[in-house]
Amino acid sequence: MFRAYTTVTKNAVMSSFTYRAHFLFQILGSLVGIVILWYLWHSVYQGSGQTTLRGMTFEQTFLYVSLGTALFVLMRTWAEWFINGQIRSGDIVVHFFRPYDHMAWTFSENLGQVIGNLITITVPSLAVIFLVFQMPWPDAWHLLLAVPAVIQAFLLSFMIDYFIGITAFWTQSIWGISAGKDVIVLLLSGAMVPLPWFPDAVRDVLLWLPFASLYNTPLSLFAGAPLDLITVLGRLGLQTVWLVIILFGVRAYFGLASRKLTVAGG
Amino acid sequence: MIRLYFKLCAKYIQARMQYKADFFISTATMLAGNTATVVSLFILFQTIPQLAGWSYAQVIFIFSFAILAQSPVQILFDHLWQLRVHVNQGTFIKYYFKPLPTLFYYVSEMVDLKGFGSLAFGIGALIWSSLELHLVWTPERLLLFPVMVVSAGMIFTALITLAASGSFWVKDSFSIMAFVSNFRDHARYPIGIYDTVVQFLFTWLVPIGFIAYYPSRFFLTDAPLDATAWGAPVIAVILSVLAVWVWNRGVRHWGGTGS
């Protein structure tokens, strides 16, 4: 049973290497984005005449936002578009009759894509950030804690995408809700402007919402003002809590959606 | 040809309006995206008083100019995003059978309604920043404004058309489109944040400086009308001619391999 899922993952990794022009431009776009961010934030710090803004140095802020872009590209698997395609073509029906779980199957495929992204886009991006821009490496225990933080962030990101994809059972097209989701997630998670830059009261609320778990939690480990262990463990725990809540929500939602499909089909 | 265009557009809108919910969600998303940018800038300017010498309201002016410049692409040329699908599946062949320029026929099949929401947002933000800054709209500026907006719109449209034409040669050109369309976001910042090398690139190689920053300067300051002023329409025309030429070459190339 498990073998079936790993095969799906392996195939997705392989197919992510197929389109070379696609990857060339994706890498190029990602790198240009990082360079632009460097100039933007460099100008912000230079214009202010200060070395620390909102408790963050230029290096910390740049690491936060540039790793944020890298994380976005890493986690972006367009699962909702894929599911939407299955719903529109009717292929999704096939999945109801097969002896595997649709969500687990989609996840296996997305995991393969993420591994592909990791090798082809994330590694070059990190090389630019740490070797070209000479950003300081985070210390070992921050790196160690960042591993579960990134994994949980990806799981959350996948489940939100899956949720949005299922919503296509009700709406006709996907662009609006998918792009709208991206806007909300990126703004409220700190991916556009680091959470520490938000007004204190707003930031304190946002830290508790699931969006912060996607970007701020992993990013604040790599970059930003150093955190003590208790805070870090607290945030990782909050990530897990949101993960469980959203998982149950999505499963219930899928049940609801598949009933609607049966009604429409019968 | 203009009459035909409106006929094709009306058909599309009619079809589209069957999905009202989708239209409202898409428009809301478009506005949310613009609002998110304004909110990010607002947060940024809570901490810093200026960005490369420009104030919050001035940066908003530049941003709204960029929205106006991208509106023609968004509203009239949105079908370009689907070119790769038509080319890969072979459905593009139908555009060869009409006595119309293919680019014209292709883009007129779709008009992006949600783009109007964005356009309205851009106009609103432009008026707000203009009032906030007490800008003086002299007759010269009022004359210059449409020239600058049209030039900026043409430059961005040409860049996107060039990127889309890649579909005729490269399989799955989505990333090329995404790559070029991201420059729209980079064009929103004052060029002064970049060093001289990047400034040169963004002026003469990928002329995104002309999409918002250079034209905005003439309305925000008393900058003299230099090369960046008369250069805008010149670059706009050159790039547009180039884009149409590349598109037509692509159409011929693809037709050749398809048969």
- pLDDT tens for each residue of A195-204: 999 999 999 9
CB-closest option in B28, B48, B179 to A28: B179
On whether any CB of chain B is under 8 Å from the CB of A144, the answer is no
Query: CA angle, B181 as apex, A157 and B165 as ends, to 5°?
Result: 120
User: Which residues in chain A (193-252) have CB-CB distances under 8 A to chain B?
Assistant: 193, 197-199
Q: Taking CB atoms and an 8 Å limit, are B47 and A19 in contact across chains?
A: no
What is the predicted pLDDT for the residue at A224?
Answer: 62
Provide DSSP, B40-104: HHHHHHHH-S-BTTB-HHHHHHHHHHHHHHHHHHHHHSGGGGGHHHHHHHTGGGGGGGSSS-HHH
Q: Which residue has the higher pLDDT, B109 or A1?
A: B109
**Contact between residue B19 and residue A172 where contact means Cβ atoms under 8 Å apart:** yes
Q: Taking CB atoms and an 8 Å limit, are B25 and A180 in contact across chains?
A: yes
**Contact between residue B63 and residue B125 where contact means Cβ atoms under 8 Å apart:** yes
Residue type, A257: A
* Burial of residue A237, with CB atoms counted within 10 A of its CB: 0-12 exposed, 13-18 middle, 19 or more buried: exposed
What is the predicted pLDDT for the residue at B259?
Answer: 45
Give the dihedral sign, CA B42/B45/B46/B49. negative
Which of A38, A120, A193 to mutate against chain B (most B CBs within 10 Å)?
A193
How distant is the Cα of B171 from the closest Cα of chain A, in angstroms?
8
Q: In this predicted model, what pLDDT tens digit does every residue of A108-148 receive, in sequence order? A: 989 998 998 898 889 999 999 999 999 988 888 888 888 99
What is the predicted pLDDT for the residue at B246?
Answer: 95
Q: What are phi and psi of B172, to 5 degrees?
A: 55, 75
What is the predicted pLDDT for the residue at A133?
Answer: 92
How distant is the Cα of B142 from the closest Cα of chain A, in angstroms?
31
CB-closest option in A22, A32, A197 to B172: A22
As a whole number of angstroms, the distance between CA B93 and CA A103 comes to 38
Which of A28, A40, A65, A89 to mutate against chain B (most B CBs within 10 Å)?
A40
As a whole number of angstroms, the distance between CA B28 and CA B12 comes to 20
Q: What are phi and psi of B5, to 5 degrees?
A: -60, -50
Orientation angle between helical segments B56-76 and B139-165, nearest 10 degrees: 50
Q: In this predicted model, what pLDDT tens digit does every residue of A73-86 receive, in sequence order? A: 899 888 888 888 88
> For residue A37, what is the nearest residue in chain B, using CA coordinates?
B186
Q: In this predicted model, what pLDDT tens digit does every residue of A141-199 receive, in sequence order? A: 888 888 999 999 999 999 999 999 888 777 767 888 899 999 999 999 999 999 999 99
CA–chain centroid gap for A175, Å, is 18
CB-closest option in B47, B174, B178 to A197: B47
What is the predicted pLDDT for the residue at A201?
Answer: 95
User: Which residues in chain B (172-191) have CB-CB distances under 8 A to chain A?
Assistant: 172-176, 178-179, 182, 186, 189
What is the predicted pLDDT for the residue at A121?
Answer: 86
As a whole number of angstroms, the distance between CA B122 and CA B43 comes to 19
What tokens were used for B216?
């905005």
Which long-range contacts (C-beta less than 8 Å, at least 24 apart) are formed by A43-51?
A43/B51, A43/B52, A43/B192, A43/B193, A44/B44, A44/B48, A44/B51, A47/B48, A47/B50, A47/B51, A47/B52, A47/B53, A48/B47, A48/B48, A48/B49
As a whole number of angstroms, the distance between CA A241 and CA A155 comes to 12
> For residue A175, what is the nearest residue in chain B, using CA coordinates?
B26
Q: How many distinct helices (H) and strands (E) make up chain B?
A: 11, 0
Alpha carbons within 13 A on the beta-carbon side of A50:
10
What is the predicted pLDDT for the residue at A99?
Answer: 76
Residue type, A166: I
CB-closest option in A22, A179, A187 to B175: A22
Tell me which DSSP letter residue B193 carries: G
As a whole number of angstroms, the distance between CA B1 and CA B6 comes to 9
As a whole number of angstroms, the distance between CA B187 and CA B213 comes to 7
H helices within chain A, ranges in order? 2-16, 20-48, 58-75, 79-89, 92-97, 102-117, 123-127, 140-167, 175-189, 200-206, 210-214, 216-222, 229-265
ipTM metric: 0.88
CB-closest option in A42, A44, A187 to B36: A187
Q: What is the pLDDT along chain B (259 residues), one digit of tens a residue?
A: 777 777 777 777 777 666 677 788 889 999 999 999 999 999 999 999 999 999 999 999 999 999 999 998 888 888 888 888 888 888 888 888 878 888 888 888 888 888 899 999 999 999 999 999 999 899 989 999 999 999 999 999 999 999 999 888 887 778 888 888 888 888 888 998 998 999 999 988 888 899 999 999 999 998 888 888 888 999 999 999 999 999 999 888 887 655 4
Give SS3 for B134.
Answer: coil
- Which residues does B240 contact at the CB level (< 8 Å), separation at least 6? B154, B157, B158
Q: Taking CB atoms and an 8 Å limit, are B44 and A23 in contact across chains?
A: no
Give SS3 for A53.
Answer: strand
Whole-number average pLDDT of chain B: 88
User: Which residues in chain B (137-176) have CB-CB distances under 8 A to chain A?
Assistant: 170-176
As a whole number of angstroms, the distance between CA B233 and CA B228 comes to 10
Q: In this predicted model, what pLDDT tens digit does every residue of A96-117 receive, in sequence order? A: 777 788 888 899 989 998 998 8
What tokens were used for B237?
């025309």
